[in-house]
Amino acid sequence: MTATLTNQPAAATGQHQWVYLFHEGNAGMRNLLGGKGAGLAEMSNAGLPVPPGFTITTEACNSYYDNHKQFPPAMWEQAMAALKTVEQETGKKLGNAANPLLVSVRSGSRVSMPGMMDTVLNLGLNAETLHGLIKQTSNERFGYDAYRRFIQMFAKIVLGIEASKFEQILEAKKHAMNAKADTDLNSADLQDVVTQYKALVKQETGKDFPEDPLQQLRLAIEAVFESWHNKRAVDYRKFNSIPDTYGTAVSVVSMVFGNMGDDSGTGVAFTRDPNTGEKALYAEYLTNAQGEDVVAGIRTPKKIAELQRQMPEVYQQFADIAQKLELHYRDAQDLEFTVERGKLYMLQTRSAKRTGVAAVKIAVDMANEGLITQEEALQRVEPTQVYQLLLPRLDPKEVAKAHQNGQFLTKGLNASPGAASGLAVFDADSAAERGANGEKVILVRPETNPDDVHGMIGAQGVLTARGGATSHAAVVARGMGKPCVAGAEDIKVDPEQRRFTVNGVTVKDGEQITIDGTTGEVFKGKIAVIDAQFDEQSELGQLLRWADQTRKLGVWANADYPRDAERAVKFGAEGIGLCRTEHMFFEEERLPIVRQMIMSAAPATALDNKLTRSQVELDKADENKQATAQQRRDDVQAEMTASAEHKLYYDALNKLQEFQRGDFYGILKAMHGKPVVIRLLDPPLHEFLPSYDELLVEQTELRVRGKHGKRLEEVDRLLKVVEGLKEQNPMLGLRGCRLDILYPAIYEMQVRAMMQAAAQLKREGVDVRPEIMIPLVGTAKELQIVREQLIPIVEQTLKDEATKVSYKFGTMIEIPRAALVAGEIAEYAEFFSFGTNDLTQMTFGYSRDDAEGKFLLQYVERGVLPVNPFQTLDRAGVGQLVKMAVEAGRAARPGLKVGICGEHGGDPDSIEFCNAVGLDYVSCSPFRVPIARLAAAQAVLAAVERDK
């Protein structure tokens, strides 16, 4: 079968060009021709052995979808013209019974998506051309082998028939003939397989297998376009943030055959090891096979040494080409090749996918070799690849086995990367106790709250049924460098029975589980992990030193404990941008003292205020009223002295001050010579108390059982306090600076402890740079009040310590109003730190845990939002508030230091924005410091590129 074709170029007719012959393209046309098409064009133009062919553009794919799945006008005609040129170059014709041309129809987006879209090989075969192919090759077995492969692949990809049905036929034939491999079947066997395959197609579709090669080609091109939106491609794009608008190109390539005997074969190669980055040819090869056999894992390939042994000259030619391509592209290449009867053909070159380890090593090695610049090396490594190097991860081989043998349980949110195995435990106390005894445990909770922090410290990782990627569990786990899978809603956690169930499987207390915080997967049993190490002298250390020379943004860390600070310094942090003091309050030995403070805070503060008022009255009293005023003050003083609540309040504060002094001493010492921003107490007080509902249940049970002792009195008192502190929306209620304005002694205790610790270190010769951050400021007056209250405490403490310490007062900008009046607030602040977690929450009007658990992920999937705004900063809304506040703040106070300390401080896209608006630093969890160092350098380089 032949067709009447014209080879008049599109440009000559004034049509839009949808189709390019290989010699018409080049590597710079990747966006239009896809990676595969651009690579084939570049190799063809370089004179390398590439089979003739042409590429249909990504624009054609997008037009296909825009035009209700119809080819764009003139595309098919241009493809036919290009096909005629290919026929002339090969001396063969598609559909010609005597001298048939066979082609492959291959997908290829501008971004490598290996295996995500579809390819059809051996297209053009039918009953007539089969005999021509056999006559051409004098190899009947090869002809039928090519035909059965084509029917199976075409039927699966184009006709939608399950591949397993064809595999069953092939396996049955192998079993009947006592054949171990496909290659053991002879031509008669394969002819029978072809007959059965055709019968299966007729049975499944009600139609005969398509015989017209042009119809086959048209259907195959449509199928490749359709594969752009298959599930695996869509999932892959979502995971890798690849836009749906890119589309796929379609390359139509004249077939060369690796399955024509022992002098033929096919292989896949990388010019450097994609796992380690080692500078060595990394390749696999199969004799008497087609490319699909290698990439689909149908047969187990051999190392490239097999080709070197069988055909040394071909091997050397291939090795030379591989080296030339790497030098030409100045990057490690992923190559596909076929040997047909001793002749080498190159079928693909593209930038090689690689692990984080390999990405860093290849970039640094190539820079050291002079192949690329240091700036290019920085741009070659994805920040997330750096993170991979620093976290334990599961062995991929063991994960694959776990999926096969039924160990996989469920998948939740990949809230904090890394992997861990341990015994499932269902309460924080057990996790802390068993962890302290050397057992490896995973803390499993319906959700975590701050009371669980000691359990999280003792656990290897955290699994929760509820909560999002910015939930407490996720934020704290990231800060600790521990893996966390959150929001695994299929899991039903029963803390009372100490077990969870999921998909019919029950996991009890003490049973082994494994979590992968990088993927969100949960497994039963233990899966081996690969440990990560950070060495400043490694390739990663070298890359990050280059990044430090390039970036403008400082990179600080969020750290609540000295161990976190030490880790942050190891990873290159230049300061602590957020030390959350409330996490210190939640530690087990302190929590009773904190509760004692809270229980007595209201009556004690009322007495303090009463004394203050009486002192003011005394100070203002004239001579006639002096005695009366003095008596009132004395009476209040006596009332205060007699008050048990007042004594309990200040006893608790004094004890906490000792703890806090030790806390601040440790973290300031760890950051010797570097600034430490310490946020004063932020959360609502009720978070430190037992749950209202739990107390109510306990109170009821005690009364029903007639137990009217001390415990009931304590519960009654606790319940009264909790009820008094209860709020409809506590995150917008009495917390942060508002708490200080009502209960000033708490912040006073904290700054006193801070300055005592700083003074002691100063005397010991340690360079300390404390910066005091006042949270949740919404008005300049709030900051003014708190600052003026605390400065005398700081100065008096330093006077008592007979030491001078340099310090700063600043605030966290986390309320939209604060961003709008930043100029006023800057009058009382020496620094701003943007708390973008809360700023995002308040700007969008989302409760982040509820949003992520209920609708936010669907918003992203449906395109309502481009990304999760709690993971990547919303530039259009939240970002504008940040930009506005920076400009207004610096206008009011030139030299105002400005940073960001929310989760966005470790997100590369958000870091680019921070660089653009002129922030001084970003602050993130210690394990994300290396990512931020690289991302900050890349932001500078990207800005330079834009300005060119």
Does 208 score more than 50 pLDDT? yes
| Structure-model confidence comparison of residues 476 and 278, the more confident one | 278
Q: What is the pLDDT of residue 8?
A: 45
Q: What is the pLDDT of residue 863?
A: 87
Judging by DSSP bridges, how do beta strands 103-109 and 282-287 pair with one another?
unpaired
- Return left, alpha or beta for 498; rule: phi > 0 is left, psi -120 to 50 is alpha, else beta: left
Q: Summarize pLDDT for 638-669 with one digit per residue, the tens.
A: 998 999 889 999 999 999 999 999 999 999 99
Q: How far apart are alpha carbons 595 and 649 in whole angstroms? A: 10
Q: Is the dihedral of CA 305, 300, 239, 554 positive or negative?
A: negative
Neighbours of 179 (CB within 10 A): 16
Q: What is the pLDDT of residue 367?
A: 97
SS (H, E, C) 709-737: CHHHHHHHHHHHHHHHHCCCCHHHCCCCH
| Structure-model confidence comparison of residues 600 and 393, the more confident one | 600
pTM (two decimals): 0.77
Q: Summarize pLDDT for 763-798 with one digit per residue, the tens.
A: 999 999 999 999 999 999 999 999 999 999 999 999
The residues, ordered by sequence, that sit 6+ positions from 790 with a Cβ below 8 Å of its Cβ are 747, 748, 751, 772, 809
Q: How far apart are alpha carbons 633 and 627 in whole angstroms? A: 10
Least Cα distance to 664 among 677, 651, 650 occurs for 677
Does 677 score more than 80 pLDDT? yes
Q: Summarize pLDDT for 137-163 with one digit per residue, the tens.
A: 889 999 999 999 999 999 999 999 998
Distance between alpha carbon 120 and the CA centroid of its chain, in Å? 34
pLDDT-based confidence at residue 7 (cuts at 50, 70, 90): very low
Q: How far apart are alpha carbons 811 and 834 in whole angstroms? A: 9
Q: How far apart are alpha carbons 134 and 146 in whole angstroms? A: 10
pLDDT-based confidence at residue 475 (cuts at 50, 70, 90): low
Q: What is the pLDDT of residue 476?
A: 63
Task: Please answer whether residues 675 and 555 qualify as being in contact, where contact means their C-beta atoms are separated by less than 8 angstroms.
Answer: no
Q: In the predicted model, what is the mean pLDDT of the chain? A: 90
Q: What is the pLDDT of residue 847?
A: 87
- Return the SS3 of 593: helix
Task: Please answer whether residues 667 and 579 qualify as being in contact, where contact means their C-beta atoms are separated by less than 8 angstroms.
Answer: yes
- Residues listed for the chain: 948
Least Cα distance to 813 among 756, 912, 720, 883 occurs for 883
Highest mean pLDDT among 569-573, 590-594, 880-884: 880-884
Q: Summarize pLDDT for 216-266 with one digit per residue, the tens.
A: 999 999 999 999 998 778 877 876 788 999 999 999 999 998 888 889 898
Task: Classify burial at 14, counting beta carbons within 10 Å of its beta carbon; exposed 0-12, middle 13-18, buried 19 or more.
Answer: exposed
Q: What is the pLDDT of residue 517?
A: 84
Q: Which residues are catalytic?
A: 472, 901
Q: What is the pLDDT of residue 6?
A: 38
Q: Summarize pLDDT for 80-95 with one digit per residue, the tens.
A: 999 999 999 999 999 9
pLDDT-based confidence at residue 931 (cuts at 50, 70, 90): very high
Does 875 score more than 80 pLDDT? yes
Q: What is the pLDDT of residue 329?
A: 93
pLDDT-based confidence at residue 4 (cuts at 50, 70, 90): very low
Rg (CA), the chain: 35
What is the percentage of the chain residues whose pLDDT exceeds 90?
63
> Rounded to 5 degrees, what angle do the CA atoms 156, 159, 164 make?
30
- Sheet strands (E) in 709-805: 769-774
